[in-house]
Amino acid sequence: MEDEDGYFGEEIAATYDESSAAMFRPEAVDPAVDLLAGLARDGRALEFASGTGRIALPLARRGIPVHGIDMSRAMTARLRAKPGSDAVDVTIGDFATTRVPGTFAVAYLVFNTINNLVTQDAQVACFHNAAAHLSPGGCFVVEVGVPDLRRLPPGQDAVPFEIGPTRWAFDTYDVTTQAMSSHYVKIVDGRAEHWSVPFRYVWPAELDLMARLAGLRLRDRWETWTREPFTAESRRHVSVWEKPVD
């Protein structure tokens, strides 16, 4: 990775909203914004990996002061081009370690982005960074998938998640290191193009331990933003950890 914007440089940023269109629909955005606004109440919100503003902008429209941290200048430029972006402050930097002034009622990290931190140390640092920004009683919210290892038969390390006439996508797993990569192949002008992004998958119980190391405690865990119960069959979760009041 040589781009200063990481894996989300200009080429990805230019089509990000369109390629992730389903995640920008009201049924995907509104429940997340409802929950986060409720946790923020009259306080400020801090978004790790604010991207093109999918959550930050509608949350700011609710009257919640929002500050984002994002490594990608290209993604942030897309946010800045949208109406209402003047209500969202953004600091360019690594969300696992970058500090911004003040304290926040809620910090959040959505859409599997905790997995973009590809080492356990970086994920632990992210929890410490969130805790350092929170006021007492504040909450850190993470939305992430449950590792899909149940779909791996013995001897297989790849799981497809998109198959189409001109586009294919699949994840590969290394169960010894918890490393994974998402691979995308598409046909452009009769030629195949390949793009991949590395991740580190993480288990709910592992996240709880990271939270404890940062001085946070689990408050709630649901399958969805609409607070459906988290069960053994859940393929993702929305978890809320709270900073104790001294």
Residue 181 has pLDDT above 90, yes or no: yes
CB atoms within 10 A of CB 79: 22
Sheet containing 167-174: which strands, arranged edge to edge? 158-163, 167-174, 179-188, 191-200
Rounded alpha-carbon distances, angstroms, from residue 197 to 59, 91, 170, 181, 182:
28, 23, 11, 5, 5
pLDDT, tens digit, for every residue of 34-61? Answer: 999 999 999 999 999 999 999 999 999 9
pLDDT at 2: 53
Distance CA 92, CA 175 (A): 33
Average of per-residue pLDDT across 5-11: 87
**Could you tell me which residues come within 8 angstroms of residue 59 by beta carbon, excluding any fewer than 6 positions away?**
33, 36, 37, 40, 45, 47, 66
Average of per-residue pLDDT across 72-96: 98
Residue 177 has pLDDT above 70, yes or no: yes
CB 105 within 8 A of CB 27: no
Distance CA 221, CA 35 (A): 12
Max CA distance (Å), the chain? 62
Average of per-residue pLDDT across 196-205: 96
pLDDT, tens digit, for every residue of 93-129? Answer: 999 999 999 999 999 999 999 999 999 999 999 999 9
Distance CA 26, CA 14 (A): 21
Residue 1 has pLDDT above 70, yes or no: no
Average of per-residue pLDDT across 2-21: 87
Which residue in 104, 51, 110 sits closest to 238, CA to CA?
A: 110
Residue 165 has pLDDT above 70, yes or no: yes
pLDDT at 210: 98
Q: In the predicted model, what is the mean pLDDT of the chain? A: 96
pLDDT above 90 coverage of the chain, percent: 92
